[in-house]
Structure 1
Amino acid sequence: MEQIIHFNTVPENISTNMSHLLVQLTVTLRNLADLSQSRPKFLATNAFMKLCSLLENYIYDKDICTNVSRILSKLSLYHDCCMALAECSGCYAIILSALNKHPDKQDLLVRMVFTLGNLTAKSDTARKQFHELEGSIKTVLCLLHTYCDLDKKSQSTMSSTKQKHEGRKQPTEVEDVLIKIVCLLANLSVHPKVGEDLAADQNCVLCLMQIIKYKQIDECEELVINTLAALSNLSYYQNESSVMSKMRKDISNLLLKYMLSNNMEGILEATRVYGNLSQYEDVQDFILEHNVYKFIVTLLDSGQQDVCFSACGVLINLATNRKKKMLLKKEGAVEKLVECLQDFGCSDWQLAGLVCKAFWNFVDSTKDVGLYLGFEETSKLLNLLSSFLDEQTALDCQWNVDIMDYQRECWEAEFKPVASLLLGKIQSHHSFLEPLPGPL
């Protein structure tokens, strides 16, 4: 098979008969790609380079391109195969050419974009290399716009013919393409330069907003979650050119329905967007006016570290304002933050550090911390901080041995500095004498 592929990557050897043979060959390779024992063979024979060459030379043959896309999409799920493909010279340019050549062939398109999504999921180098290809982002955004329009039209058709099914779980073909495109955009936006460019692209932001406006999370969960994740990443980039920043009130309004949903993953992603956008005072006001802050405080009871982490991000921003932090206190935020620190402090020093930052904003301008936070909660907080700041106590926590060095670094960099400042602040602005009750 390797010899046939090599023979047919030479332009003068290309013929109709050989094309038919290659279709059969790539079908066989596609089936082999499903077998775990075959993956080492793909790696050992440098098959990824040959498949890229085959794709490049037969870019006009839809069947061969589709079969190659199926092989690559299957194998790119595995780290070693994904890395081998990423190392192939020109693989991004070849895949991009296939996307541009066959934008209407959905089965090919969805697999090629899926492969790109896997390549860019964990590699900043991959994000950079793809972004630097001329026309790469333009192609992806054109596909996003095209399939958003197709999806909207199909929704209108379904509504007019009453074909819509409540609680539909399986995405349509158009939705499946959108899922992969949005996932790719979310992955690409992790790279600062790419993220800034996408956040400043009106077409990109409006398409993502359209998805979360018209889609229901219980009908197309994966698409909505991916879109919220993309918006979360893009909302991180806040500069004068950011469309995300300019549209922040509209986006905040669109997120409301997801905060009211029963889908915790959707709530988490929506909270992350609020966490970034709540740096703006008008978004903070929106969060208060629409009682979003009550949901945020409740999330501290979720028992999930990532959810608590995102909730703390919003609370840190809200607690910079005296009126807003009084509302948070009334809602029970102080007690829940103490519980969060107590429950997760030893296992997640990044979260513990974030809790301390929230408390710092709570007590920043007060002269009597105990009176402000409550004497019982202040006492608990003092004990926790004193305990966690003791290096021996921190090191005695039941850390995962495999990531002990990482956890130590987090304790020293993420928790210790802010916790030390907070402890000093509380000790210098706290009376241990509780006030007597007033006369009866």
Structure 2
Amino acid sequence: AAPPPPLHLLGGGAAEEAPHAPLKMDARRAGALDVLVKLVRVIGNLAISPEAATQLVASRLLAGTFLALLSEHSVDDSEELVLNVVSTISNLTFYEGAKDNHILLGRRVLVGCLSPLLLCGQEDAVAEAARCFGNLSRYADVRQEMAARRVDAALCILLDHSNSAVLYSAAGVLMNIAADEAHRDELSQHDNVGRVVDALAHALYGGEASLAVILLKALFNLCAADAAKSRRAVLTPAQAAVARDAIADYLST
């Protein structure tokens, strides 16, 4: 449908208002967004199948469309669309072995699109973004881009989150970053190690074994000694005691 015609000023007076034009525009936009959400949701469901996903990730058009949607829409104005796009991208970035995965070819651009979501006020968006970073952080160039954008610091802050899905995904990404010697030292600075230890203790005392395993792996990677270098102790005596006591308490139950 054509947009409403412009209003004309007649004889210096005020133009007559077309009262329904803005509502019609809003309705058209809402309808278009609804169609987009449904299409993205279908693609996300198809991406669960490895056979279908192989075809989807080979599409440059699809990859470019998803990047454009994330660049042009925010959680504030198009929450459902953004959530479904990020969730679908998470599904598609899972297939790292697929030939010509154009979603993964744009992975560094994705870092810029996803990083603002980590500290937004929408819990589902935070969880989906963290889950997507779990796949993307397997790549060295992504970890470099994440470090440049301080995504690692944001992930450490998320270790205080009350949502278990956010915690689990954030811990997994930190485990990947800590395994990278190029970023391990930076990640072990500030209060980051303390946050990992506190999250580990909380998970162990709360009986969340699967989360505790991921956090233990992240902590192990942070503490991994580099034989070629003389490295400072990552854990303070107090932090080591907290981790040791929590592990001992869990094993004794």
TM range (shorter): 0.7 to 0.9
* Deviation of 1:230 (Å): 0.5
Q: Which amino acid aligns with 1:381?
A: A
- Secondary structure of the residue aligned to 1:365 is coil
How many Å separate the matches in 2 of 1:311 and 1:347? Answer: 18
Q: Which amino acid aligns with 2:86?
A: L
* Deviation of 1:369 (Å): 9.8
- Secondary structure of the residue aligned to 1:172 is helix
**Residue pairs, 1:227-238, within 5 angstroms:** 227-238=85-96
* Deviation of 1:318 (Å): 0.9
Unpaired segments ≥5 residues, structure 2 = 4-20
Contact kept, 8 Å, 1:319 with 1:362, in 2: the verdict is yes
Q: 1:243 to 1:384 in 2, by over 3 A?
A: same
Unpaired segments ≥5 residues, structure 1 = 1-149, 155-162, 394-440
Q: 1:298 maps to what in 2?
A: 157
Q: 1:71 maps to what in 2?
A: none
Whose Rg is larger?
1
**Residue pairs, 1:265-276, within 5 angstroms:** 265-276=124-135
Q: 2:213 maps to what in 1?
A: 353
Give the number of equivalent residue pairs: 228
Q: 1:289 to 1:370 in 2, by over 3 A?
A: closer
* Deviation of 1:310 (Å): 1.0
Is 1:212 matched with 2:91?
Answer: no
- Secondary structure of the residue aligned to 1:271 is helix
* Deviation of 1:214 (Å): 0.7
Contact kept, 8 Å, 1:297 with 1:333, in 2: the verdict is yes
CA RMSD of aligned residues (A): 2.7
Which moved further from structure 2: 195-204 or 299-308? 195-204
Q: Which amino acid aligns with 1:351?
A: L
Q: 1:378 to 1:193 in 2, by over 3 A?
A: farther
Aligned equivalent of 2:61, options 184, 190, 203: 203
Aligned equivalent of 1:281, options 127, 134, 140: 140
How many Å separate the matches in 2 of 1:192 and 1:331? Answer: 41
Q: Scaled by the length of structure 1, what TM-score is found?
A: 0.48
* Deviation of 1:201 (Å): 2.3
Q: Which amino acid aligns with 1:219?
A: D
| TM superposition outliers: structure 1 runs of 4+ over 3 Å | 366-370
How many Å separate the matches in 2 of 1:350 and 1:369? Answer: 30
Q: 2:31 maps to what in 1?
A: 173
Q: 1:375 maps to what in 2?
A: 237
Q: Percent identity?
A: 25
Contact kept, 8 Å, 2:153 with 2:192, in 1: the verdict is no
* Deviation of 1:164 (Å): 8.9
Q: 1:248 maps to what in 2?
A: 107
Is 1:191 matched with 2:49?
Answer: yes
Is 1:332 matched with 2:191?
Answer: yes
**Residue pairs, 1:41-60, within 5 angstroms:** none
Q: 1:313 maps to what in 2?
A: 172
How many Å separate the matches in 1 of 2:51 and 2:248? Answer: 41
Please list the CA deviations of residues 260-298 of structure 1 after superposition, one character each: whole Å capped at 9, or x if unmatched.
533232222122222211111111111111111111110
Please list the CA deviations of residues 73-108 of structure 1 after superposition, one character each: whole Å capped at 9, or x if unmatched.
xxxxxxxxxxxxxxxxxxxxxxxxxxxxxxxxxxxx
Q: 1:263 to 1:192 in 2, by over 3 A?
A: same
Q: Which amino acid aligns with 2:213?
A: G
- Secondary structure of the residue aligned to 2:75 is coil
Contact kept, 8 Å, 1:363 with 1:369, in 2: the verdict is no
Please list the CA deviations of residues 187-234 of structure 1 after superposition, one character each: whole Å capped at 9, or x if unmatched.
221223323332232222222212111112111111111111111111
Contact kept, 8 Å, 1:341 with 1:352, in 2: the verdict is yes
Please list the CA deviations of residues 290-325 of structure 1 after superposition, one character each: whole Å capped at 9, or x if unmatched.
111111110001122111111112111110233422
Aligned equivalent of 1:222, options 69, 75, 80: 80
* Deviation of 1:244 (Å): 1.8
Contact kept, 8 Å, 1:294 with 1:331, in 2: the verdict is no
* Deviation of 1:357 (Å): 1.4
Contact kept, 8 Å, 1:234 with 1:244, in 2: the verdict is yes
